[in-house]
């Protein structure tokens, strides 16, 4: 249960670290964080690895060649890297229609060896011909530091959605960490029951 002692301590740690963050951190999204890095206004942060190459984009970044990449730090001393490893995938809807083969060919073209080779430096690819660059350093180091693979159970999204709605209330002081997590847990149970995950 995420509304136990570990969850409360996590929110308390996040709140304590907020003094190092931008004043509007509760309203910031990953685009804002990336822009702060690119403009030299942030010294450290955790961001999608797919954004790493943009740090060296001379059209948008003032820190070209000055940013290094590391593992996400552990949340507790001696702990694993406090992040998850995940990847993007492709899917075709069941009700796609009659042109499934064409759609499949387009999807495969988007991840074929030639695409990976030409876009090698743009992201981190899961193909054997991908050649890791410095932009993938953080992923490799996080993996080596024990970062787990993001769980694929469908009910997890319901939990993270409810946590994401209410943790800001605790960080902003409108609720205590316990109140926020208890409310998120109750909302999760309701949503998971409606979806049939809890009988």
**What is the DSSP code string of 22-78?**
-TTGGG--HHHHHHHHHTT--S-----GGGGGGGG-TTT-S-TTT----PPPBSSTT
Q: Is the pLDDT of residue 50 over 80?
A: yes
- The structure tokens listed for 118 are 């030409």
The pLDDT of 21-46, averaged and rounded, is 92
pLDDT mean across residues, the chain: 93
Assess contact for 103 and 96: CB atoms under 8 A. yes
The pLDDT of 130-153, averaged and rounded, is 93
Query: Which comes out higher in pLDDT, residue 28 or 183?
Result: 183
Tens digits of per-residue pLDDT, 110-129? 999 999 999 998 888 889 99
The pLDDT of 120-148, averaged and rounded, is 92
- 5-67+151-194 topology per CATH: D-Maltodextrin-Binding Protein; domain 2 (3.40.190)
Burial class (CB within 10 angstroms; exposed 0-12, middle 13-18, buried 19+) of 72: buried
The domain locations on the chain are: 5-67+151-194
Assess contact for 182 and 12: CB atoms under 8 A. no
The pLDDT of 171-186, averaged and rounded, is 97
Dihedral sign from CA coordinates of 35, 38, 44, 46: positive
Q: Provide, rounded to the nearest whole percent, the portion of the chain with pLDDT above 70.
A: 100
CA proximity to 18, closest of 161, 173, 160: 173
């Amino acid at each position: 249960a995420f509304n136990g002692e570990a969850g409360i301590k996590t929110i308390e740690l996040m709140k304590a670290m907020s003094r190092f963050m931008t004043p509007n951190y509760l309203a910031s999204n990953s685009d804002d964080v990336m822009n702060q890095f690119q403009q030299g206004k942030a010294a450290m942060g955790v961001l999608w690895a797919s954004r790493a190459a943009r740090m060296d984009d001379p059209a948008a970044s003032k820190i070209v060649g000055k940013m290094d990449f590391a593992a996400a730090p552990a949340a507790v001393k001696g702990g694993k890297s406090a992040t998850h490893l995940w990847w993007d995938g492709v899917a075709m809807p069941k009700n796609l229609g009659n042109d499934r083969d064409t759609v499949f060919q387009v999807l495969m073209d988007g991840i074929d060896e030639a695409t990976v080779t030409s876009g090698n430096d743009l992201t981190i690819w899961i193909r054997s011909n991908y050649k890791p660059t410095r932009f993938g350093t953080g992923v490799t180091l996080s993996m080596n530091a024990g970062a787990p693979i993001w769980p694929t159970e469908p009910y997890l999204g319901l939990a993270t959605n409810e946590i994401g709605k209410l943790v800001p209330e605790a960080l902003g002081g409108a609720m205590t960490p316990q109140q926020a997590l208890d409310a998120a847990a109750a909302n999760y149970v309701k949503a998971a029951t409606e979806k049939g995950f809890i009988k």
